Every structure is written in C-alpha cells, then in structure tokens.
Amino acid sequence: MRRYILHRLWQGAVAVVGALLIVFVAQRLSGDPVALLLPMDATEADFEAMRSALGLDRPLPVQFVVFLRDALLGDFGHSYLWNMPAMDLVLERLPATLELALAGLVFALALAVPLGVLSAVHRGGWIDNAAKLFAMLGQAMPGFWVGLLLIVFVAVQLQWLPAYGRGTVGHLVLPAIALGWYPVAAMTRTLRSAMLDIMQSDYVRMERAIGLPERAIVWRFALRNAAVPLVTLIGVYFANMLGGAFVIEVVFAWPGVGRAVVEAVFARDFPVVQAGVILAAVIFVVVNLIVDLTYGLIDPRIRHE
C-alpha cells in the first residue's frame, strides 16, 4: 500500500509539472501581458522597461526554469496586477472555494442518493419517472442559468435568501444548489444504474431468501456495493467544483479561487495563473488518490498493490 501511494504521488508530481509546462507555454502564446498593464499611449521603450522589470524579456526556457526553481523554494512569483505573492492570492481564496464545493457536494449527494436508490427500487414507478425527469433537467440546465433563476425567484421575488456574497449559511444555499445541480443528474443516473444491477444479483436474492428486511438489503448492502462508481463521480465532481466553479462564483459574487484564476487568465497575470494551476493540479491528484484508496474501504475485494 505504501509503495502504491508513493508511486501515485510520483505520478502526481509529474502530472503537476506537465500541466504547468502546458499552461506556461499556452499563456505566453496568448499575448503580451505588458499590453494590458500599460496605458494605450505607452511607447515601445515603456514596454521594454516593463518587460525587463517583470523578467519577461528572458528566453522562455530560462523563464520556465527560473519559475520551477523559485516554486520549489516556495516562491511562486508576484501578481502583476494585485501586487502581492501569487500563491497567497490564490490560497486566501481557497477557504471560500472549499466551503462552496463542499456545500455543493452535500447538496448533490443529499438529492442524488435517495433519488438514485428509490428510482432503482421502484423501477418504472412514478418516483423513477420523476427522478429521470429531474436528471434530464439537471443535465439540460447549466448551473449559471439555474443560479440566475434562483436569484430572480428565491432572492428577488420571495426574498428568502441573499442574492450574492459570502458570510452566513444563508449566503451559501443558492450558490451551493447552482453548483450541485449538474452533478445531481449524473450521480442519480449512475447510482440508479448500479443499483439496478446489484438488486438483480445473486447475493441480494439470497438476502431476500433468508428473510432480511428489504430496507436493510437496499440501504445497508446494495447501496454499499453500488457506491463504487458513485465515489468515482464524487472525486471527479468535487475536484471540478474546486477548480471550475468560476461561473457560479461570478454569478453569486463569491470570492473563490476559480474566479481569481479565470480573471488572471484574461488579464494575462501569469504568476496567478501558474499558482492556480499548481493548486488545481495538486487538488486533482490528491482527490483522485483519496478516491482510489476509498474503493478498498467500500469493497474489501479491491486491493492496491
């Protein structure tokens, strides 16, 4: 197990550096950040001076090596725009993103698990049809649109919850629903499909034969076995929520990492983009490792060698 974890961490480190290299090259192909920093009337001399001050006048390979060296020493550079260390800028927004992603995940699971299980148990019934309709709507309606609808109806018309911002549990509800909306659909469908397979398996028939209550069969035994693909989805969506909640963060004025990094992409604020990519890549690696290790806990037949 220890060897497996070390091997996965090594693979993760290679993936992080690889992602960084791609982003490093791609963002430099996207244009000169100095054009965005200087006013329209700046001269070529002003451009050269600013490029030199930011270290952008060096050859690209030198810039990358210098960046990697500094990053290993814990220095991820200074934001061109915010005048502060890039990693600090990203990390200070991480709690907000974690909070939103966790809330979104809780919302998604709170809906997807009962819906997926009940629709499988009552296959063809009204619950199943309702769950399928819900799943279809979930995948057809983008989260930002759901967010705008929630703002218009729940915040403006009904005045039940705040329309934007962060601070109280009330502020968290609408963005969490908007963020968790899409995963609900995918999780429900996946869980329903897995439950349908499991419910027809021999051991479930055996459990029924020995007289176990149906509720225990469904919720204690079948759900545990059907949870493996769900855990995979949880890992994927949680990592996506952490790194890709940008649109929801903009809609609800939520001060998270995604919004900071995407704004940095448009502003060509290279150090912030790089810091954000490192953070996102590390999160993906760690979450996927946790998901892989969780398989063994759910299903003891799965062992990592």
Partner 1 sequence: MYGCLSARLFRTVALAFLTAAAAQAEEMVVAFGAEPTQVEPTRATAGVDAYFVSLFYEQLLNVSPELERIDWLAESWSFEPVGDEHILSVKIREGVKFHNGDTLSAHDFRFAFERQRDPLSRAAGRFRYVRDLVVRDDHRFDIVFREPDAAFVPWNLALWAIPRRHFEAVGEAGMQAHPVGTGPWKFVSRKPREELVVERFEDYWNASAKPRAKRLVIKIIPEDTTRVAAFKTGAVDWIDAVPPAQVGDFEAMPGVRTVSLPGPNNLYLGLNAVDPRSPLADVRVRRAVAHAIDTDAIVEFVVHGQGIRTAQLAPGSVGYDAALTPYRYDPGLARALLAEAGYPRGIRVNCYNLTTPREPNIKEVGEAVFAFLGAAGIRCRVHQMEYGAWINLLRGASRPTMDGIVSAMWGHGLPADPTDAWSGHLHTAADNWGRNSYHSDPAFDRLVEELRTTMDPGARYRLASRIARLKHEQVAGGLPTYRPLISLAWRDTLRFRPWPAAGWRSMYEIDLARPHGRVGSSARAELLRRERLAP
From the list 184, 182, 183, 178, the residue with the least C-alpha distance to 164 is 178
CB 112 within 8 Å of CB 188? yes
25 binds partner 1 (CB under 8 A): no
Please tell me whether residue 85 adopts helix, strand or coil conformation: strand
User: Which of 3, 43, 169, 215 is in the footprint of partner 1 by CB under 8 A?
Assistant: 43
203 binds partner 1 (CB under 8 A): no
53 binds partner 1 (CB under 8 A): yes
209 binds partner 1 (CB under 8 A): no
User: Which of 112, 191, 260, 261 is in the footprint of partner 1 by CB under 8 A?
Assistant: 260
# of chain residues touching partner 1 (CB under 8 A)? 49
User: Which of 110, 136, 156, 216 is in the footprint of partner 1 by CB under 8 A?
Assistant: 156
From the list 221, 274, 228, the residue with the least C-alpha distance to 87 is 274
User: Which of 250, 286, 293, 298 is in the footprint of partner 1 by CB under 8 A?
Assistant: 250
Please give the structure tokens belonging to residue 43. 């001269």
Q: Tokens 């290790």 correspond to what residue? A: 293
252 binds partner 1 (CB under 8 A): yes
CB 235 within 8 Å of CB 102? no
162 binds partner 1 (CB under 8 A): yes
212 binds partner 1 (CB under 8 A): no
CB 167 within 8 Å of CB 202? no
267 binds partner 1 (CB under 8 A): yes
CB of 58 to partner 1, least distance (A): 17
CA–CA separation, 241 and 96 (whole Å) = 12
User: Which of 108, 190, 258, 259 is in the footprint of partner 1 by CB under 8 A?
Assistant: 259
CA–CA separation, 50 and 115 (whole Å) = 57
User: Which of 155, 196, 262, 293 is in the footprint of partner 1 by CB under 8 A?
Assistant: 155
User: Which of 20, 50, 217, 285 is in the footprint of partner 1 by CB under 8 A?
Assistant: 50
Largest CA distance in the chain: 85
Angle subtended at Cα 11 by Cα 6 and Cα 17, rounded to the nearest 5 degrees: 125
CB 249 within 8 Å of CB 263? no
152 binds partner 1 (CB under 8 A): yes
Range in contact with partner 1 (rule: CB under 8 A) among 99-107, 121-129, 225-233, 252-260: 252-260
Q: Tokens 């398996």 correspond to what residue? A: 201
CA–CA separation, 247 and 178 (whole Å) = 10
Site residues for partner 1, 64-103, by CB under 8 A, read 79, 81-84, 89, 92-93
Q: Rule CB under 8 A: which residues touch partner 1?
A: 30-33, 35-44, 46-47, 49-50, 52-53, 79, 81-84, 89, 92-93, 148, 151-152, 155-156, 159, 162-166, 250-253, 255, 259-260, 266-268
